[in-house]
Structure 1
Amino acid sequence: MSSQIVDAAGAVSSGHTGPVVLDGIGLRVEDVVRLADGTARPEPGTDAMKRVAESWDAARQIAATGRVYGRSTGVGANRNEDVPTEAAAEHGLRLLRSHAGAIGEELPARQVRAMLAVRANQLLAGGAGLRPTVVTALCEALESGAYPVVNEFGSVGTGDIAALAQAGLALAGEHPWRDAGFPGAGGASGEPRGVVGAPEPQHLDNNDALAFISSNALTLGQAALALHELRGLLEATQVVGALSVLAVDGAHEAYAAPVHAARPHRGSLEVARRMRELLGAPDRPNPPLGRLQDPYGFRCLPQVHGPAHDAADALEEVVAIEINAAAENPLITPEDMAAYHHGGFYQAQLALALDHFRLALTQVARLSTSRLSTLNEPVFTRLRPFLADHQPASSGVMILEYAAGAALGDLRAFSAPASLGHAVLSRGVEEQASFASLAARQTLRACGAYRLVVGCELVAAVRALRQREIWPDPDLPVGRALELALSVLDEDQADRPLTDDVTAAAALLDRFTDIWRRGG
């Protein structure tokens, strides 16, 4: 996990730890996160900058001799309206001004910075035909901590044109910048102009405007941030599940190698292997002496977690392609001096992958609430109901089931498929929409709810282990996890508010991710 410190408003306050080379080819999800959080500085690749310059030269020549969408014509339903030569210089700024109409709340710094990182790298792929100084300006902003004001709503999954138009106007000196709060960056947060670190205003004309905004960079940046956090939480959930297995004397048979070799789904195989590793179980565990079969929350963990890991892998593959893609419309190809008009901006793959991932995660969270309910049952723990203390009629952790259920309700709502949306826009010329932008926002919002659900399970599992005085081998991953949890979670088991306990447990999950990744 990265070492960023991000406050509740999303302001970034960490320093650079090394470069991320932007070359339009090899940017990774974790690189986007590092740039968004300010733990890395961008370094544009030399060959990639040459591609940008060649594309810029080619685009101007093509636009000067033929009709090119958005450069010598209007956009959307205005695609057939030519821009007179004498009006071409102002056409770009008018296009940015008219499209910079995103609405809603201002987005936090790291989401906007993720957008800038993705857009800079896409431009370095070489198909946009935009002036090279724009790439330099984006990299300057990423390094200094300056970021443009961008509002939440304005995309339906066919290009983040409103958000990027706001960024374009900021680059042109007509829209506010903010300061992300890097140490020593200077500039008062909220200054509309003159923020220290904001790049010098760029001269943007008809050859720059559409080339800059023809992208889904905000959606992709948000998707990268959400995937990074939720993948880590998914891994941490397995560690929490292993603690719950210990707390109820769960059988290891469900994780046996022969079981999963007989049904070899990649994700389930890996989850079962990790469960054996976490618990120190052999590949072929002995049958249990007590219960014949555990509840689904324990027995079906590989079958539920496995698909979520597979969904995360599929989403990461889609995001990796898109953040390194020259998907601008039109695509400029200096090799054959052509401008290809196309639909490469349409984000069906991303919308579907995000929807799939959220649905898979919701099943994992639901399984966590199932284990939480089992932890409250004396028949499984041999403890008092709800892990209560010895005072008469104590409620113990009873409320956690309600709290986790409420958070799960939000998660379930966020998991509604955004790709079912539909829109007909711009006088019917754009008659379909992927709503990948909504899918990305929903996935980001799912992070908090998911984290709280699993935090509730962790509080209960640690309490059960304390009461039963089960202390696994500290050399095992599950032993290290319990030691860490014991050092953080309050040992007082009297009836009291558990809000702070769940908050601490939810924050602890990031460190559990490290335990999962280090393994045995």
Structure 2
Amino acid sequence: MIELSGDSLTIDQLKRICIEQEQITISKTSMEKVRESRLAVDNIVANKEIVYGITTGFGKFSDVMIEAKDVEDLQLYLIRSHACGVGNPFEEKVSRAMMVLRLNALLKGFSGVRPVLVELLADLVNERIHPVIPEQGSLGASGDLAPLAHLALVMIGEGKVFNEKGEAVDAASVLSKKQLQPIVLQAKEGLALINGTQAMVAVGVMNYIEAEKLAYDSEWIAALTMEGLQGIIDAFHPAVHEVRGYPQQVAVAKRMTAWLEGSQLITHQGEKRVQDAYSLRCIPQVHGATWQALDYVKEKLEIEANAATDNPLIFDGGKLVISGGNFHGQPIAIAMDFLKIAIAELANISERRVERLVNPQLNDLPAFLSAQPGLQSGAMIMQYAAASLVSENKTLAHPASVDSIPSSANQEDHVSMGTIGSRHARLIINNTRRVLAIECICALQAVESTGIDKMAGKLKEKWEAYRKVVPTISEDRIFSTDIEEVASLLNVKKGDYATDLQLDIT
């Protein structure tokens, strides 16, 4: 059970809640802040004060005054009108993350919602009632309005949720089955539910979790390639990396050396060649730079996961109500674009290692790792597939955050497109996982030529585990199946967030 307070949610906790399906509880102190904030909103309505989104319309309609008798309708119409997301739904774990993140933001006590709304949101998480939320339709400023509106629909008994089979069903029937009562939104509550960056952050958190594991996996796969190509281990000597000064680079070199410990397949300078190509020699530098980006992304995601992103924000018991722009997703938009580039580079360098594994002009292995070169093509077209995925990544890596289209009659004249960046990062991660799967398949085959009995102990364990899923290439077969099987093994699963080496080496 993880307690949410609005101030201390971590990516590790989000892993436990969203992937392990751990339940949550609410901090009593934070709930008291929620009550105090709600009293301030009630006073604003009672005193007929002019406050954006409470007694006025929204966006360009901020100058339209709303009568007290119409406050409930204002919030209802807001949710219905803004629920215009399109496309495929987000994965259930992303939908769950969105609820947790929005709940955590409301618990900070600056949004003015009633405790009953907070409690219902917590119940939805604990009962595993996950809204069906279309992926597309957010500009990433004024909050992730469209996606969060679909989340809010469920809370008022409308919209769709996933059932146990992953099918979209009416939310009202599921709420009734679970004996949960939909709420009637009061002043500001609809706005409080949709003003925020929780869609881009939810996708971003899942991206980070998967990218972190992928970065660790890329190291043992690269080490396996080193054995298949009898690479030179001297390039990983700690002295080389310490004099440059990047701790992430030093750490990658240290982990690479640990993976290769005891190997009789790796070589030293001058034994087989004087130096390796960059895709082998520069693994710590390139992979280390990806880890630098991951560290940056993690920091920004954890800040945003505990941020008040509402508008307006209520301070000092309602004495200070400020209409600002914390819903603007630019910090996460830039972080996601950074992540896109960083993960795309893991695929870029991996594909170059694949080329070295299959090209007979670059190694001493059977041409294209084929059992019968000429008659059988072996891994030739797997390299094509990797090259295709890498090229697609380059297009997806174009930054979303540099784009902006004005909305709401130019009232909202600069937006972040952060949710687009998050979604594209997810596509790049999926593509990169498959590129690494291709490298893994080729490296598994290569070490059979150089000598399985001479492998490093840790890598021999990997070889044995993956050979249970992907057999030796004794003749051509439908390699698409192998690629997807290995990619599935590399994906994040319950209780499996990174390789065992992450725990062994700090």
**TM-score, reference length from structure 2:** 0.92
Q: CA deviation at 1:272?
A: 1.0
Equivalence for 1:170 = 154
Which of these residues, 191, 195, 215, is aligned with residue 214 of structure 1?
195
Q: Quick check: 2:160–2:168 contact (8 Å CA) kept in 1?
A: no
1:305 is displaced (CA, Å) by 0.5
Deviates more, 1:340-349 or 1:286-295: 286-295
Instruction: Give CA-to-partner distance per residue, 1:202-258, whole Å, 9 cap, x none.
Output: 121223111221111111111111111111111101110000001111011211111
In structure 1, distance between residues paired with 2:274 and 2:79? 66
Give the Cα–Cα distance (whole angstroms) in 1 for the partners of residues 21 and 154 of structure 2.
24
Judge which range, 260-269 or 365-374, deviates more: 260-269
1:370 offset after TM fit, Å?
A: 0.6
Match of 2:411?
A: 429
Equivalences for residues 31-42 of structure 1 within 5 A: 31-37=13-19, 39-42=21-24
| Cα separation, partners in 2 of 1:176 and 1:376, compared to 1, 3 Å | closer
Q: Is the 8 A contact 1:93 1:206 kept in 2?
A: no
> Which residue of the other structure, out of 304, 307, 310, is the alignment partner of 2:289?
307
2:460 matched residue in structure 1: 479
Structure 2 counterpart of 1:11: none
Closer/same/farther in 2, CA of residues 123 and 281 from structure 1, 3 Å limit: farther
How far apart, CA to CA, are the structure 1 residues paired with 2:319 and 2:243?
55
Structure 2 unmatched ranges of 5 or more: none
- Matched letter for residue 88 of structure 1: V
Matched, 1:332 2:311: no
Whether contact under 8 Å (1:24, 1:124) holds in the other structure is yes
Report the Cα offset of residue 189 of structure 1.
5.1
CA distance 1:179–1:384, change in 2 (3 Å): same
1:440 to 422, 425, 430: 422
Deviation track 1:124-154 (CA, whole Å, cap 9, x = no partner) reads 1111111111111111111112122322222
Number of the residue aligned with 2:43: 61
- The more displaced of 333-342 and 304-313 is 333-342
Q: What amino acid maps onto 1:150 in structure 2? A: I
1:413 to 380, 392, 395: 395
Give the letter for the 2:393 counterpart. L
Residue 111 (structure 2) pairs with residue 128 (structure 1): yes
User: 1:273 aligned to 2:254?
Assistant: yes
Residue type at the aligned position of 1:518:
L
Q: 1:230 and 2:211 equivalent?
A: yes
Q: CA deviation at 1:86?
A: 2.7
- RMSD value, Cα: 2.2
Shift, 1:361, TM fit? 1.2
CA drift of 1:198 comes to 7.2
Alignment-derived partner of residue 144 in structure 1: 127
Map 1:236-275 → 2, pairs under 5 A = 236-275=217-256
Q: What secondary structure does 2:56 align onto?
A: coil
Q: Return the match for 2:173 from 169, 173, 194.
A: 194
- The more displaced of 316-325 and 78-87 is 78-87
Displacement of 1:163 in angstroms is: 1.8
Residue type of the alignment partner of 1:132: P
In the alignment, what sits opposite 1:519? 504
Distance in 1 of aligned mates of 2:164 and 2:90: 12
Tell me if 1:500 matches 2:484. no
Q: How far does residue 37 in structure 1 lie from its aligned partner after superposition?
A: 3.2
Mapped to 2, the partners of 1:343 and 1:233 lie a distance apart of: 34
Q: Is the 8 A contact 2:370 2:473 kept in 1?
A: no
Residue 490 in structure 1 maps to residue 452 in structure 2: no
How many Å separate the matches in 1 of 2:489 and 2:86? 35
Q: Give the direction of change, closer, same or farther, for the CA distance of 1:39–1:169 in structure 2 (3 Å limit).
A: closer
CA contact (8 A) 2:72 2:184 kept: no
What amino acid is aligned across from residue 132 of structure 2 in structure 1? V
- Aligned-residue sequence identity (percent) comes to 28
In the other structure, the counterpart of 1:385 is: 367
Cα displacement (A) at 1:59: 2.4
Range that drifts further, 35-44 or 46-55 = 35-44
TM-score (norm 1): 0.90
State whether residues 24 and 121 of structure 1, in contact with CA within 8 Å, keep that contact through their aligned partners in structure 2.
Answer: yes
Q: 2:325 aligns with which of 343, 348, 371?
A: 343
- Offset of 1:201 from its aligned partner? 0.7
Inter-partner Cα distance in structure 1 for 2:216 and 2:350: 13
Classify the secondary structure of the residue corresponding to 2:498. Answer: helix
> Counterpart in 2 of 1:16?
none
Give the C-alpha shift of residue 51 in structure 1: 1.4
- Aligned in 2, Cα 1:248/1:444: closer, same or farther, shift over 3 Å? same
Match of 2:302 in 1: 320
Cα drift, residue 69 of structure 1: 0.7
Residue in 1 aligned with 2:86?
103
Tell me the residue number matched to 1:8.
none
Shift in alpha-carbon separation, 1:512–1:398, aligned structure 2, 3 A: farther
Moved more, 303-312 or 190-199: 190-199
Which residue among 328, 333, 336 is the counterpart of 1:354?
A: 336
CA contact (8 A) 1:351 1:419 kept: yes
Task: Give the secondary structure class of the aligned counterpart of 1:417.
Answer: coil
| Partner residue in 1 for 2:97 | 114
The equivalent of 1:92 in structure 2 is 75
**What is the rounded CA distance, in whole Å, between the counterparts of 1:157 and 1:191 in structure 2?**
27
Q: Distance in 2 between matches of 1:59 and 1:316?
A: 34
2:128 counterpart letter in structure 1: G
- Aligned residue pairs, count: 494
- Cα distance in 1 for partners of 2:374, 2:72 equals 80
How much does 1:509 deviate?
2.3
Contact persistence 2:37–2:318 (CA under 8 A): no
Quickly say closer, same or farther: Cα 1:329–1:198, change in 2 above 3 A: farther
Question: Could you say which residue in structure 2 is the equivalent of 1:179?
Answer: 163
Instruction: Compute the displacement of 1:449 (Å).
Output: 0.8
CA contact (8 A) 2:90 2:132 kept: yes
Report the Cα offset of residue 91 of structure 1.
Answer: 1.6
Query: What secondary structure, in the 3-state scheme, does the structure 1 residue paired with 2:24 have?
Result: strand
Taking the aligned partners of 1:155 and 1:227, their CA distance within structure 2 comes to 20
Deviation, 1:62, is: 3.2
Are residues 1:459 and 2:445 paired?
no
Give the counterpart letter for 1:194 in structure 2: S
1:402 is aligned to: 384
- Distance in 2 between residues matched to 1:67 and 1:338, nearest whole Å: 13
**Secondary structure, counterpart of 1:495 in structure 2:** coil
For 1:55, give the aligned amino acid: S
Cα distance in 2 between the residues matched to 1:362 and 1:431: 31
Q: Which amino acid aligns with 1:500?
A: T
Deviation at 1:382, TM superposition (A): 2.0
Amino acid at match of 2:470: L
Distance change >3 Å, CA 367–CA 131, structure 1 → 2: same
Residue aligned with 1:152, SS: strand
Distance 1:199 1:471 in 2: 61
